[in-house]
Structure 1
Amino acid sequence: MSVRATRTALITGANSGLGKAVATVLAKDGLRLGLVARGRARGEAALAEIRGASGNDDVHLFVADLADQDSIRALAQDVLARFDRLDLLINNAGTAFAERRLSPQGIERAFAINHLGPFLLTNLLLDLIKASAPARIVNVGTRIDAAIDFDDLNWERRPYGLMKGYAQSKLGNLHFTFELARRLKGSGVTVNCVFPGVFKSNLGGTDGAQGVFWKLLAKLGGWAIPTPESAAQRVLYLANAPELEGVSGEYFANRKTIVAPAQARDAAANRRLWEISERMTGMVGQSGGGD
């Protein structure tokens, strides 16, 4: 088999829920696949299950805490050492917290995981992704109308709330998607954001936030909550659809483009968050795709 024939993908948050559902389909499709999980025990259980369900042994486990930038840097080094190409990166991992918590770097934890985690990991892997072009980056977002308070990203002055912290951090995915797409124009690498719908998951479940989260979502949206396997199809569309070759800088839901919140459509705001994110991750002058 030629190098070109083996499409290689990496997906974060792959040990359960949406990430596991997406990973299972990709493994069945014969991709060489990297699964990123926070815990080794749960990651190894998911690895065995996905290999068994797909018959694909070319599935590999990477363990990292996406709240910790040192762990993300170690993850990137591990990926670069083990994979010679990366055709698809799916930034899926996300979480929510009932109370304000800080990362090891002193950053509000939802923002650290949901926005800065994908920002840092993507930029650390970007040279490999560009060398593998045509390649795709898929950021899994949400659909909550919100705006980022650039003067209080760490929630030091405002009262913190689960939905408020989650919404601000996930809006960062859209700012990141649109600015990265601008920087990658002409590179052969596309980046898009997808809202997979609301589905039952263990989002924030370890701190008791899950029950509150789903009650709030049901109250706000009244959506019927599908399975992760159903939601996975929306992510897989961005990962695989031939008609999306060359399509970049878009926001999708249910295989159609949708309108992003106003702030994320502001090019100056996108650039501003990018520059802030560079400083918060120590990537000034190192992040990819041009200026």
Structure 2
Amino acid sequence: MDMNGKTALVTGANSGLGKAIALALAQDGWRVGLVARNPERGAAAVAEIQAATGNTEVHLFIADFIDQTAIRQLAVAVCDQFEYLHLLINNAATAYPERRLSPDGVECAFAVNHLAPFLLTHLLLERLKASAPARIVTVGTRMNTALDFADLNWERRRYRMMQAYGQAKLGNLHFTFELARRLDGSGVTANCVFPGIFNSNLGGTDGAQDWFWKLIALLFGRILPTPEQAAQRVLCVATDPVFAGINGTYLGNHKPLKVPAQAQDMLINRQLWRISETLTGILPAAPSPLRQLRP
């Protein structure tokens, strides 16, 4: 097939929304990197996309976003294989029914949903800048919440799955707005997209995580949009020339969405950025960042 000379990386791409996005990009002649946690499911997704599109430039990268070491290894592998990177879609997300800590000592919802895309984007940023014009699209959610900076690690509060998920995903907005300001004039844009409510497999297939999402799919799956339909909202911002100069926005169905109050505060955007730099080792560790750093 005719290739368009552009390269994209899609995280959480072995199923659901990420797979639908990767498939559409491959159909349009992109060279596409799929990031998956499970090698077998990832390989199956790559084979399916190649067979459906005739595009052999579909590549698999393996990383578990709960582990920052794996994210760093992923970034090295991507840069080794892709000399250019024109599009990064931060899609991987999950929720946990109970509080658990990552290998880096961070509450897992916050680690996977916020710190992982923060770190991966940071590690790939120079490759994106060198490939400009380029775009970073982070898939967000729509929950009117606020991060509790006094207890980011859920040590003092009773853990609630959806509250932890929503607050971690709010970090995507803080991150996008601060990143966009830092990228101004670089030829790289950063936006956050809410794809709408759709028939998702959020939570994965790991036993205890899976029951809630299976129940939602059972009750509402037939009336919800498909991942392929939801993917169009992300792809529009990721590839449409109309959005080429759009930077630092929160979009849904091709239109700006109302931003939760906390994420509108530039000082808090910047504060979470600094905390995230410390928690990912980008900056030298500050004393007890999860407990002491507050906006």
% identity of equivalent residues: 60
What's the RMSD between the two structures over aligned residues?
Answer: 2.2
* Deviation readout 1:29-78 (Å, 9 max, x if unpaired): 00011000001010000000011111100010000011100000000000
Q: Secondary structure at the match of 1:159?
A: coil
Using the size of structure 1 for normalisation, the TM-score is 0.92
Q: Secondary structure at the match of 2:246?
A: coil
Q: Does 1:208 align with 2:228?
A: no
The answer for the alignment partner of 1:103 in structure 2 is 102
Q: Does 1:231 align with 2:254?
A: no
Per-residue deviation at 1:218?
11
The 5-angstrom pairing of residues 155-170 of structure 1 reads: 155-170=154-169
Q: Does 1:150 align with 2:149?
A: yes
* Deviation readout 1:238-280 (Å, 9 max, x if unpaired): 1111111111000000111111100001001100000000000
For these two proteins, the number of residue pairs brought into alignment is 282
Ranges of 4+ aligned residues in structure 1 off by more than 4 Å: 213-219
Q: Does 1:73 align with 2:68?
A: no
Rate the CA distance shift 1:161–1:217 in 2: closer, same or farther, 3 A.
Answer: farther
Q: Secondary structure at the match of 2:212?
A: helix
* Deviation readout 1:205-230 (Å, 9 max, x if unpaired): 424344435768999x9x95211011
Per-residue deviation at 1:199?
1.4
**Contact 1:173–1:193 at 8 Å: present in 2 too?**
yes
| Matched residue type, 1:72 | I
Determine the C-alpha separation between the residues in 2 that align with 1:185 and 1:23.
27
Determine the C-alpha separation between the residues in 2 that align with 1:195 and 1:217.
19
Unaligned runs of 5+ in 1: 286-291
The 5-angstrom pairing of residues 187-202 of structure 1 reads: 187-202=186-201
Q: Secondary structure at the match of 2:46?
A: helix
Q: Does 1:49 align with 2:48?
A: yes
* Deviation readout 1:73-102 (Å, 9 max, x if unpaired): 000000010000000000000000110111
| Matched residue type, 2:212 | V
Per-residue deviation at 1:137?
0.2
The answer for the alignment partner of 1:242 in structure 2 is 241
Q: Secondary structure at the match of 1:208?
A: helix
Using the size of structure 2 for normalisation, the TM-score is 0.91
Unaligned runs of 5+ in 2: 285-295
* Deviation readout 1:88-128 (Å, 9 max, x if unpaired): 00000000011011111111111100000000000000000
